[in-house]
Chains A and B, each alone.
Chain A
């Protein structure tokens, strides 16, 4: 079974608007971490935001926020005030257990920001 599901292959957003990228996950481990990464055409995976399973509040990092709904097993990324430089592939990933174990990635969502 897929551990991470991203159902939006591609999205278009107007500059300065907000966009929400969907991510659902599947795990039976009570301890896990959820990540969002940005991958521009250069290939590097750039860390955006992290949410731990025991965190009480939704994570925020600048223009990025994570809408964590534990009961629904969803961890959607919200990018506010989109910029042209936000055009990239976005991946949701999960680490099960504590420590720095392997990440399971979704298939990704391509975001294109229009001027």
Chain B
């Protein structure tokens, strides 16, 4: 079975631009979470979606938004990019009925210049 896949793996954007990051969960996983990991720090929770509904949101500005599609894949959108948005963005999928079934993708490394 394929793991969690994220695209693109790397991208460079200019301040003020918009970016869309994509995530495909493990087959059968209905929950997708997004995390931001700034260099040298631990990941910070951004969003969790389950069955296309937002279940949780971290302390991030409204420039960050996400959605989940009927096939359980997900997109993370960031508007009006700032230099501080440069980070590794990680997606994790899970089964709600399992307490520890989180599987992470390899991430998208975003650089804002």
How far does the Cβ of B69 sit from chain A's closest Cβ, in whole Å?
A: 19
A85 within 8 A of B: no
B64 within 8 A of A: no
A13-21, A69-77, A96-104 - interface stretch: A96-104
Complex contact A104–B45 (CB within 8 A): yes
Complex contact A44–B104 (CB within 8 A): yes
Given contacts A43-B106, A44-B106, A45-B90, contact A100 B101 (CB under 8 A): yes
How far does the Cβ of A36 sit from chain B's closest Cβ, in whole Å?
A: 11
B42 within 8 A of A: yes
Given contacts A99-B99, A100-B96, contact A43 B41 (CB under 8 A): no
Q: List chain A residues, Cβ under 8 A from B104.
A: 37, 44-47
B8 within 8 A of A: no
Q: How large is the interface on A (under 10, 10 to 19, 20 to 34, 35 or more residues)?
A: 20 to 34
Complex Cα distance, B56 from A100, in Å, reads 11
A68 within 8 A of B: no
B74 within 8 A of A: no
Q: List chain A residues, Cβ under 8 A from B58.
A: 102
Interchain CB contact (< 8 A) of A100 among B44, B90, B98: B98
B73 within 8 A of A: no
Given contacts A101-B56, A102-B33, contact A42 B106 (CB under 8 A): yes
A88 within 8 A of B: no
Interchain CB contact (< 8 A) of A105 among B42, B48, B106, B109: B42
Q: Which of A58-79 contact B (CB under 8 A)?
A: none
Q: List chain A residues, Cβ under 8 A from B43.
A: 45, 91, 103, 105
Q: Which 5 A-B pairs have the closest CB atoms?
A: A105-B42, A45-B104, A100-B94, A50-B100, A102-B45
